[in-house]
Amino acid sequence: MLKAMLGEAWLAMGANRLRTALTMLGMVIGVGAVVIMMAIGQGAQYAVQQTISTMGSNLFIVLSGSFTASGVRSGSAGAPSLSVADADTIAELDGVVHVAPTHQGRRQLVYGSQNWSANVVGTTPEYLDARAWTIASGAAFGDSDVRSATRVALLGKTTAQNLFGDEDPVGKTMRIQQNPFIVIGVLGSKGQNLDGNDQDDTVIIPLSTAQRKVFGTPFLGSVRMIMVQADSAEAMPKVMDSVTSLLRQRHRLRDGMPDDFFMRNLSAAAESEAETTRTMSILLGAIASISLLVGGIGIMNIMLVSVTERTREIGIRMAIGARQKDILSQFLLEAVMISFAGCLLGLLIGLGVALGINFFTGMVIVVSGSAAIIAFAVAAGVGIFFGWYPAQKAARLDPIEALRYQ
């Protein structure tokens, strides 16, 4: 029965191809917009998750701003205003999970005849936890390595590959600024960050070793940057406030004097980028709903025309035994089929556009099965909702009146 009816609906659609195609247009645009919206929206969601999972969540950094006593900024040449002792006291604050004083810079690495320039990060073991780094092979360094300034290094995957090729770097000795370092581990891969930088092109070494051997800081015990991880996104503002007051107090800044440090919320940067994309997908959502509405009205309109044109056919069908529900389902099925066909086309076009957006702008998109399911559910819904009235009109026709219709 259903198969026979599907066949008939297909014939009816094919009887007036141009009209059917034009009717589908609204659905095509609507579903296309839904697909693009979901691809971009889910892409944004994914990008945030990705950033958070690779960057670490609820992170902010405190950067030292170097000031002279008169309050004039003297540039990075002066002594950094932050100290390792600052980091230790920040760690005592409520809501702080991890604190890592950090000093980083790009340096040349040498292994045998291989050269490679990578981002060298001098820090404490907590940095690995805060940034959610994993150890792929070997082991991490510990607090004792920081205390005794051992020359050990953890390599990011990209750095390891470029310097060691197929060799296993663990246990090998390489040089940073002429100083030999023993590679004790290789980090798990993180890939690119939101800015497109390769996070795996890095070397992590103990802070004290970095300051003494690599960056040559004359002010031991001071740092340019402290990374702080709060225990939740909600706690971030409060934690940042208490860090501010703690540092002002420790640096003996009187009221009215400017901070000699500044803070940046890393997670918020990722969030706000995602927010922009979300706004865009909401806009697309609005376009989608309007097109679906217009598409639905188009289907209703064409079905009403179809019912009028086929009044006689309806009369004949009733005369040979079609019940009201048979006529109803015939026209409903036709509306849903037009809707589905439009949906299928819209799905393909939407996918194409989403992939195009990804190709040309590099925006992260996520194509998921749920987008297709939602699109088809919407199509069925639109078909049934807007097909109902015309189908009902057809089913309620009087057989005699319908047969007499010319």
Partner 1 sequence: MSPGANESVIRVVGLGKSYETAAGLFPALKGVNLDIKSGEYIAIMGPSGSGKSTFMNLLGCLDTPSTGDYFLAGRNVAHMDKDALAVLRNRTLGFVFQGFNLLPRMSLQDNVALPLVYAGDDKETRRAKARELLGKVGLGQYAESLPNRISGGQQQRVAIARALVNSPRLILADEPTGNLDSHTSEEIMRLFGELNAEGITIVLVTHENDIAAHAKRQVKFLDGEIVSDHLTAQVPA
How is residue 291 written in tokens? Answer: 């097109």
79 binding partner 1? (CB under 8 A): no
Residue 11 is a binding residue for partner 1 (CB under 8 A): yes
Name the residue type at position 187. Answer: L
Specify the stretch interacting with partner 1 by CB under 8 A; choose among 138-146, 291-299, 322-330, 377-385. Answer: 322-330
Q: Number of residues in contact with partner 1, rule: CB under 8 A?
A: 23
Q: Which of 282, 319, 355, 373 binds partner 1 (CB under 8 A)?
A: 319
Closer CB to partner 1, residue 216 or residue 321? 321
Residue 292, Cβ density class (10 Å: 0-12 exposed, 13-18 middle, ≥19 buried): buried
* Smallest distance, partner 1 to C-beta of residue 5, A: 8
Minimum CB distance to partner 1 smaller for 1 or for 72? 1
**Piece of 3-11, 98-106, 166-174, 212-220 that binds partner 1 (CB under 8 A):** 3-11
* Three-state secondary-structure class, residue 87: helix
**Nearest approach, Cβ of 276 to partner 1 (angstroms)?**
53
| Position 323 contacts partner 1 (CB under 8 A) | yes
Q: Which amino acid is at 368?
A: S
In DSSP notation, 196-260 reads: S-BTTSEEEEEHHHIIIIIS--SSTTEESEEEEEES-TTTHHHHHHHHHHHHHHHTTPPTTSPPS
Is the distance from CB of 82 to CB of 243 less than 8 angstroms?
no
CB contact at 8 A, 83 and 223: yes
Sole window of 44-52, 94-102, 149-157, 312-320 interacting with partner 1 (rule: CB under 8 A): 312-320
Amino acid at position 250, single letter: R
One residue of 45, 313, 388, 389 binding partner 1 per CB under 8 A: 313
- State the nearest-atom distance from the C-beta of 313 to partner 1, in Å: 6
Site for partner 1 in 387-406 (CB under 8 A): 399-400, 403
Question: Tokens 């980083």 label which residue?
Answer: 104
The reply on whether position 305 binds partner 1 by CB under 8 A is no
Tell me: does residue 326 bind partner 1 (CB under 8 A): yes
Minimum CB distance to partner 1 smaller for 223 or for 328: 328
SS3 content of the chain, % helix, strand, coil (to 5): 55, 20, 25
Asked if 61 interacts with partner 1 (CB under 8 A), we say: no
CB of 305 to partner 1, least distance (A): 17
Candidates 187-195, 314-322, 349-357, 374-382: pick the segment binding partner 1 (CB under 8 A).
314-322
> Per rule CB under 8 A, is residue 318 in the interface with partner 1?
yes
Coil, helix or strand for 45? helix
φ, ψ dihedrals at 387, nearest 5°: -85, -15
Q: Which residue, 7 or 258, is less far from partner 1 as judged by CB? A: 7
Cβ contacts of 5 within 8 Å, gap of 6 or more: 329, 330, 333
**Pick 73 or 325: Cβ nearer partner 1:** 325
Tokens 């199509």 belong to which residue? 379
CB of 17 or CB of 254, closer to partner 1: 17
What's the closest the beta carbon of residue 306 comes to partner 1, in angstroms?
A: 13
Of the candidate spans 8-16, 37-45, 48-56, 279-287, the one that interacts with partner 1 by CB under 8 A turns out to be 8-16
Give, as ranges, the residues between 80 and 119 that touch partner 1 (CB under 8 A): none
Stretch that binds partner 1, among 53-61, 107-115, 313-321, 336-344 (CB under 8 A): 313-321
Kindly state the smallest distance separating residue 315's Cβ from partner 1, in Å.
Answer: 8
Q: Based on the shown chain and the rule CB under 8 A, indicate whether residue 324 belongs to the binding site for partner 1.
A: yes
List, as own/partner pairs, every contact residues 218-222 make where C-beta atoms lie below 8 angstroms and the sequence separation is at least 24, other chains included: 219/79, 219/80, 221/83, 221/84, 221/85, 222/64, 222/79, 222/80, 222/81, 222/82, 222/83, 222/84
Q: Please list, residue by residue across 52-82, b when 16 or more beta carbons sit within 10 angstroms of its beta carbon and e when fewer do.
A: bebbbbbbbbbebbbbeeeeeeeeeeeebbb
Return d(Cα 174, Cα 159) in angstroms, integer. 12
Q: Using the rule CB under 8 A, is 6 a contact of partner 1?
A: no
Instruction: Work out whether the CA dihedral 40, 41, 42, 45 comes out positive or negative.
Output: positive
Binding residues for partner 1 restricted to 14-53, rule: CB under 8 A: 15
The binding site for partner 1 (CB under 8 A) comprises: 1, 3-5, 11-12, 15, 312-313, 316-326, 399-400, 403
